Amino acid sequence: MAESTRKVALIFLVTFAIVIPCLEAGIAVYDDFLKAQAEMAHEIALESFVPNPMNITSELNLHVHLAMEEAANMTRRNLREGHAHNPNEPCEASNPIDRCWRCRADWAENRQRLAKCVKGFGRRAVGGLGGPTYVVTDETDEDLVEPKPGTLRHAVTRNGPLWIIFARSMIIKLKQELLVSSDKTIDGRGANVQIRDGAGITMQFVNNVIVHGLRIKKVKAMEGGMIRDSYNHVGQRTRSDGDGVSIFGSSNIWVDHISMSECDDGLVDVIQGSTAITISNCHMTKHNDVMLFGASDSYTGDKIMQITVAFNHFGQGLIQRMPRCRWGFFHVLNNDYTHWLMYAIGGSSGPTILSQGNRFIAPNNEAAKEITHRDYAPKETWSKWQWTSDNDLFMNGAKFTTSGQPITKLENINKGLIMKPRPGSHANRLTKYAGALGCVVGKPC
């Protein structure tokens, strides 16, 4: 009887996790195709969840150290050989993601090498690795149901793995949200690709996507309509929120080297049971609600959410939510916080936040020196939430209020590989090249 009760409870929880997201997912008609997509996405999310997230955070700390040591050795060699800084000489890539690809002059000949470079919780995101290259030649977005070949919308709705690049610099004004299907890489290197003055990019019930090297600006909320979301499905969508990047019920996602600002809603929203995500090397400016991880204090399905936020520059004109978290585990590593007006990192519903090696420069406003902000809970409740600061640098009076037991438990890790994160004094160097890069074919980026 007890076993039967447990099975019924499990079925209810899975059904709840699949159905509840659709109430806010922009889906007007929840047909059999979307039900199957939601169920498959939830299964992948559970498989991608890491029972001991400290294994992943410690691995990333190790790679940060190796990258910094290699960069320092290169600098010493250049000094010994009498080399001054020259843009034609080997570039500096001091963080482990950039170290993997950015200083290779042949990056354009082997673009898919990028798929091997992600670290953190999104480490399994390989995007279109192994698939053909699709070249976007047309910046228009006229037909949302039967997209024109050569457009970005046509590319992201094809079947199977695809590595999407751009023939030239272009401004793409999306008429409605761009629904990206699984196993895709959007690679903006070598061109100035702007997604602006229209809708944003959405990943819903998908797996394994890389978005890299774009400039996303002034994304607007749109009315919705019939929109193709995959090779074999078109669905009715309700109004979109105006997020720059929206990740909904999806797993194994990597967002890297994006420049973002001035969207109607969030710059990056990750919600409804999404997990295994890395957001890295981005430059964010001129925005209020920057990043939202978990949209509801009642949706416990976000307990599996695990996100790495690393090597980003939170720059001019930002107000709050860098990020704002619910329920899950969030590793905030070696970011440079040079601006905020209200607070930098916030949360509710008991999230676990590990802040390591960030630089926090508080605003001059004495009422906004506090980095952290907790919502909808009295102190006797939030004091048990695990919010740990480790090797962070606090400037201009910045203050981080820690809570709960320190996050130190390490299991099943080779203790000889455990290294402390780089201190916050290195954050400006680790984030020096955040945002979309001006890559030129035949030269390091």
Closest CA to 122 of 200, 212, 35: 212
What's the rounded Cα separation, in Å, for the pair 166 and 193? Answer: 8
Cβ neighbourhood burial of 370 (10 Å; 0-12, 13-18, 19+): middle
Catalytic, 321? Answer yes
Decide: 290 and 315 in contact? Cβ < 8 Å: no
What's the rounded Cα separation, in Å, for the pair 326 and 314? Answer: 20
What's the rounded Cα separation, in Å, for the pair 42 and 44? Answer: 5
Which residues sit opposite 170 in a β-bridge? Answer: 193
| b/e burial code for range 167-184 (CB count within 10 A of at least 16 → b) | eeebebebbbbbbbbbbb
Residue of 99, 111, 189, 321 marked active site: 321
What's the rounded Cα separation, in Å, for the pair 368 and 342? Answer: 5
Contacts of 58 (CB under 8 A, 6+ apart): 410, 413, 417, 418, 419
What's the rounded Cα separation, in Å, for the pair 188 and 172? Answer: 12
Decide: 245 and 215 in contact? Cβ < 8 Å: no
Helix or strand run (H / E) with residue 211:
strand 207-212
Q: Would strands 225-230 and 233-237 be described as parallel, antiparallel, or unpaired?
A: antiparallel
| Separation in Å, CA 170 to CA 138, 192, 232, 436, 444 | 8, 6, 28, 14, 22
Active site residues: 321
